[in-house]
Amino acid sequence: MHIAILTFEGYNELDSIIALGVLNRIKGDDWQVTIATPTPKVTSMNGVVIEQMTTLEEACDADAVIVGSGIATREVVEDPAIMGVLRRLDPSRQLVAVQCSGALVLARLGLLADVPACTDLTTKPWVVAAGVDVLDQPFFARDNVATAGGCLASPYLAAWMITRLVGAEAAEDALQYVAPVGEKREYIDRAWRNVSPYLPAPAPALI
Amino acid sequence: MHIAILTFEGYNELDSIIALGVLNRIKGDDWQVTIATPTPKVTSMNGVVIEQMTTLEEACDADAVIVGSGIATREVVEDPAIMGVLRRLDPSRQLVAVQCSGALVLARLGLLADVPACTDLTTKPWVVAAGVDVLDQPFFARDNVATAGGCLASPYLAAWMITRLVGAEAAEDALQYVAPVGEKREYIDRAWRNVSPYLPAPAPALI
């Protein structure tokens, strides 16, 4: 199971790294979470240089993909080399989730055509201009496409992804670990309030 | 104003990067937030390689220091080269804050002698064994020393630091930016509930 977090030059650290931290609470040889970049290194909007763990090409083959956010997403969606690769993203065979301005990438790929989306308040006008209905809430998902708005909505997105790939109990354990001491139940309950409405209904019991 | 986030081999990404992201909401030439490492690069507990922005020596001269967390903090406190440098940390002239297992570093430096502390549940037995009273809450500060427990308590620690260095309004703006869309007021109120009791009392008005 490979989850790739697409991370571009000028990336927002919170929008790539929080999901990575929560997703890595799942342990096992068959669980790999990577930072996927277009170049061997990328520098964040605040000067944090991180090294590539996977290429964008490899990321397109992942079981799940998160498109991170940053100050240069509007340049990313105009970059034919990057967008040419990302055209291989396909929610019919993988989970595709985006954080904040990552919604612009999905909009440009035509993957938000009939799906409302969450994004951050700075990106909102650009996503609206791309013809997408933007919601005033932290998380939304339909089928295999999820969007989150506001950096600290990342744990919701990670919880949705773990639930879809492993199960609700594993997601709850991951949230339990990262939540503040003394506030763990409150954090988990709030995450479920945001995520549960967008999970597939359990299969009905056979009578 | 320089804030250095001490980040060691095996670091927990959330415990260094969330504070960095929130602190960087303050803009200006006189505001610098750096990742301080003992080596030119460090690799996280989940394989994320980041580059040094400052040395530990330079970090000791910072206006404020955050000691990050990780899977190797027990090795860090046994490393004479690292601890020899960190002995220069001095809460009488700088803010010193720690996240999760960073509390072990402060305990070893003798900076938690009469101060209770917050830490994560995994590290708790080690901090207790170091003779420190560990609290079941996400954040505690006394004078210039602050501790936080649970990765997602990082925004509380960052809000405390911004309030001390810049002011409460700047801290609230930073939290406003990073909080989930649709939950911003709730996040900010909870942060203040955790942080306010540990801020210095405002100077009484002169009659």
CB contact at 8 A, B202 and B144 = no
Residue B166 banded pLDDT, cuts 50, 70, 90 = very high
Domain membership of residue B206 (yes or no) is: no
Tokens of A116: 């409302």
Going by DSSP bridges, is the β-strand pair A64-67/A2-6 parallel, antiparallel, or unpaired?
Answer: parallel
B28 interface with A at CB cutoff 8 Å: no
Interchain contact, A50 vs B45, CB within 8 Å: no
Question: What is residue B201's predicted lDDT score, i.e. its pLDDT?
Answer: 79
Determine whether the interchain pair B118/A179 forms a contact, defined as Cβ–Cβ distance below 8 Å: no
Q: Provide the pLDDT for residue B82.
A: 97
- Identity of the residue in A35, A151, A181 whose CB atom sits nearest the CB atom of B178: A151
Q: Is the pLDDT of residue B205 over 70?
A: no
Q: Which of B24, B47, B151 sits opposite A178 (nearest CB)?
A: B151
In the predicted structure, residue B204 carries a pLDDT above the cut 70: no
In a domain, A203, yes or no: no
pLDDT value of residue A97: 97
- Cα separation, A175 vs B90, in Å, equals 34
Q: Is residue A206 part of a domain?
A: no
| Residue B126 domain flag | yes
pLDDT-derived band at B158, boundaries 50, 70, 90 = very high
| Interface contact flag, B14 A12, Cβ < 8 Å | no
Question: Does residue B202 have a pLDDT over 80?
Answer: no
Nearest CA in chain A to B154: A180
Q: Name every chain A residue with its beta carbon within 8 A of the beta carbon of B150.
A: 178-184
The domain tally of chain A equals: 1
**pLDDT by residue (tens digit) across B61-115?**
999 999 999 999 999 999 999 999 999 999 999 999 999 999 999 999 999 998 9
State the nearest Cα–Cα gap between B90 and chain A, in angstroms: 26
Is A26 within a domain? yes
Q: How confident is the model at residue B129 (pLDDT cuts 50, 70, 90)?
A: very high
Q: Taking CB atoms and an 8 Å limit, are A48 and B50 in contact across chains?
A: yes
Is residue A205 one of the residues assigned to a domain?
no
Which pLDDT score is estimated for A201? 79
What's the pLDDT at B14? 97
Average pLDDT, 10 consecutive residues per value, chain A (207 residues): 98 98 95 98 98 98 97 96 98 97 95 94 93 96 97 98 97 97 97 96 68
Residue B207 lies in a domain: no
Q: pTM to 2 decimals?
A: 0.96
- Judge whether B17 is closer than 8 Å to chain A, CB to CB: yes
* Contact assignment for B150 to A179 by CB distance below 8 Å: yes
A192 secondary structure, DSSP code: H
Boundaries of domain holding B124? 2-198
Angle, alpha carbons A155-B44-B137 (nearest 5°): 50
- Flag whether pLDDT at B38 surpasses 90: yes
CATH number of the domain within which A31 lies: 3.40.50.880
Question: Does A193 lie at the interface with B, CB-CB under 8 angstroms?
Answer: no
- Average pLDDT value for residue range B106-134: 94
The pLDDT mean for chain B works out to: 96
Q: What is the ipTM of this complex?
A: 0.95
A30 lies in some domain? yes
Q: What is the pLDDT of residue A203?
A: 66
Counted across chains A and B, CB pairs separated by less than 8 A come out at 135
Q: Does B160 touch chain A (CB under 8 A)?
A: no
Of A92, A73, A90, residue with least CA distance to A82: A73
Cα–Cα distances in Å, from B152 out to A148, B29, B132? 17, 28, 22
